[in-house]
């Protein structure tokens, strides 16, 4: 069975929901891995879950990007290991330069937690293989530093990317997620692991499930 590492830093708080989704939706062998123990060559994919790595000191994702695990993540990106960064994981990947741009404080300067509708563009790659172009999926957000910014958006929108239908945090071009290498590395601010099973919300919505179904199907097909 293909193996997926769920990276845990000090302050990560969504690893168990992510692990449950990987095991029960992706149908893959998932394991929570303490960050210094992560070795890229031992895994078929890696997820960086949400939370507040190192308490978000300095800025979100900064200190985690200095860790030993980050060197392994850069190696993993170089040889094409599928990488997913969710919320704080997205912030870490942006700090590392694996994903372009930066995540700034929300325009409201407040922490925002709410359900949003996310529209996917040019979906492809292991994390989005079962999602249709233009498909809208509901997922929750929970962040204070989720306002995406980059000087030039043109290279980004040539890759798979996602936008908020209602921009909750002031992101440039309503960007909710970006990718590189045709979707091999994907960062998304909404939490798919919190929208995977109907019992997780009174809304009974499972928009995030499609991402976990996609990686399972992609790895079983030999990605």
> What positions carry a catalytic annotation?
87, 191, 193
- On whether the CB atoms of residues 6 and 18 are closer than 8 A, the answer is yes
Q: Map tokens 């509708």 to a residue.
A: 117
**Pairing verdict, β 147-149 and 102-104:** antiparallel
Round to whole Å and give the CA distance between 89 and 42: 20
- On whether the CB atoms of residues 215 and 114 are closer than 8 A, the answer is no
Comparing CA positions, the residue from 195, 222, 221, 219 lying closest to residue 29 is: 219
Round to whole Å and give the CA distance between 83 and 179: 10
DSSP alpha helix (H) spans, the chain? 15-21, 68-78, 88-96, 154-157, 209-220
């Amino acid at each position: 069975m293909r193996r997926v590492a769920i990276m845990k830093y000090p302050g990560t708080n969504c690893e168990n929901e992510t692990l449950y989704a990987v095991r029960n939706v992706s149908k893959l062998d998932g394991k929570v891995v303490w960050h210094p123990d992560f070795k890229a060559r031992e895994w078929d994919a890696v997820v960086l879950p949400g939370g507040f790595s190192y308490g978000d000191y300095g800025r979100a994702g900064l200190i985690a990007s200095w860790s030993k695990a980050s060197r392994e993540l850069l190696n993993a990106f170089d040889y094409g290991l599928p990488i997913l960064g969710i919320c704080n994981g997205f912030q870490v990947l942006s700090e590392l330069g694996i994903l372009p741009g930066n995540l700034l404080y929300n325009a409201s300067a407040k922490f925002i937690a709410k359900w949003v509708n996310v529209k996917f563009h040019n979906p492809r790659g292991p994390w989005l293989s079962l999602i249709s172009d233009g498909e809208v999926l509901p997922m929750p957000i929970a962040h204070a530093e989720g306002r995406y910014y980059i000087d030039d958006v043109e290279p980004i929108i040539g890759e798979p990317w996602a936008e908020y239908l209602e921009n909750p945090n002031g992101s440039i071009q309503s960007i909710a997620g970006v990718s590189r290498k045709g979707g091999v590395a994907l960062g998304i601010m909404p939490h798919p692991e919190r929208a995977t099973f109907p019992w997780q919300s009174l809304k009974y919505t499972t928009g995030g499930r499609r991402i976990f179904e996609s990686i399972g199907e992609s790895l079983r097909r030999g990605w």
